[in-house]
Amino acid sequence: MKKNKTLLIVILAFVLLMGGAYVLYQKLSQETTADQLAVQDSSQAPEETGGGEAEKTLAPDFTVYDRDRNQVHLSDFVGKPVVLNFWASWCGPCQSEMPDFDEVYAELGDEIQFLMVNLTTSDRESFEKATALIDERGYSFPVFYDLDGNAATTYGVYSIPTTIFIDAEGHGVAQATGAINGETLQRGIDMIR
Instruction: List per-block mean pLDDT (blocks of 10 residues) for the chain, which spans 193 residues.
Output: 71 58 45 64 44 71 98 97 98 98 97 97 92 98 97 96 98 96 97 96
The whole-angstrom separation of Cα 33 and Cα 28 is 9
Q: Which of 97, 87, 91 is nearest to 162 (CA)?
A: 87
The whole-angstrom separation of Cα 41 and Cα 1 is 66
User: What's the pLDDT score for residue 189?
Assistant: 97
Instruction: Tell how strand 82-87 and strand 113-118 pair up.
Output: parallel
Is the pTM for the entire model greater than 0.85? no
Tell me which H or E stretch contains 53. none
User: What's the pLDDT score for residue 41?
Assistant: 59
Tell me which H or E stretch contains 117. strand 113-118
User: What's the pLDDT score for residue 5?
Assistant: 75
The whole-angstrom separation of Cα 174 and Cα 98 is 19
Q: Is 108 exposed, middle or buried (0-12, 13-18, 19+ CB in 10 A)?
A: middle
Strand partners, 17: none
* Residues found in the chain: 193
User: What's the pLDDT score for residue 17?
Assistant: 52
The whole-angstrom separation of Cα 182 and Cα 192 is 16
Q: Which of 157, 6, 172 is nearest to 91 (CA)?
A: 157
The whole-angstrom separation of Cα 183 and Cα 54 is 27
DSSP structure class, residue 32: S
Phi and psi, residue 149, nearest 5°: 75, 10
User: CA separation (Å) from 14 to 7, 19, 138?
Assistant: 11, 8, 40
